[in-house]
Amino acid sequence: MSGRMEGGCQCGRVRYTVELAGDDAYLCHCRMCQKATGGVAAAFVNVPDAAAVIWQGEPHWYASSPIAERPFCAACGTPLGFRFKDGKGMDLTVGSFDDPSAFVPVAHAGAESLHAAWLDTTALPRQRSDETASVIEQWAKAGRSVP
């Protein structure tokens, strides 16, 4: 996969388009990424030149450390990425792309804070949202089917 990809926040206020040369992605396990995303790791796609990211609806940015800042949607809170303050490139969060399935992880960053128990979860039981009675019921109350 390569070419033009689109993404954005959960509420739709912030959207972006980016030209990508490949499908490489990576996980960052550092504590700042854990805090910034609320996840056990952050999944990122690196964009070598931040100018390749065209925003439609500008994100807000905050300093997550003295060396880095992160874009997010101030309305819904979606974490959208990362950049070093003096860097040329940036990262976009895999989950904010419209089609995250296009990407493949190729490396672990921030390995000093890696939670090994979360890495290989292949053997865990799986349950689909559209096969989960409580989820189906909640969506039905909202007059919708499970997305």
User: How far does Cα 56 stand from its chain's mean position?
Assistant: 17
Residue 75 sits in the site that holds Zn ion (CB under 5 A): yes
**Contact call for residues 44 and 84 (beta carbons, < 8 A):** no
Question: Considering only 8-16, 94-102, 113-121, 130-138, which stretch makes contact with Zn ion by CB under 5 A?
Answer: 8-16
CB of 45 to Zn ion, least distance (A): 14
Q: How far apart are CA 43 and CA 80, in angstroms?
A: 10
Residue 11 sits in the site that holds Zn ion (CB under 5 A): yes
Q: How far apart are CA 17 and CA 30, in angstroms?
A: 27
The mark string for 99-138 relative to Zn ion (x by CB under 5 A, - otherwise) is -----------x----------------------------
Report the sign of the C-alpha dihedral through residues 114, 118, 122, 128, in that order: negative
Nearer to Zn ion, 3 or 35 (CB): 35
**Contact call for residues 18 and 50 (beta carbons, < 8 A):** no
CB of 147 to Zn ion, least distance (A): 16
Nearer to Zn ion, 75 or 136 (CB): 75
What single letter denotes the amino acid at residue 99?
A: D
The mark string for 14-43 relative to Zn ion (x by CB under 5 A, - otherwise) is --------------x-x--x----------
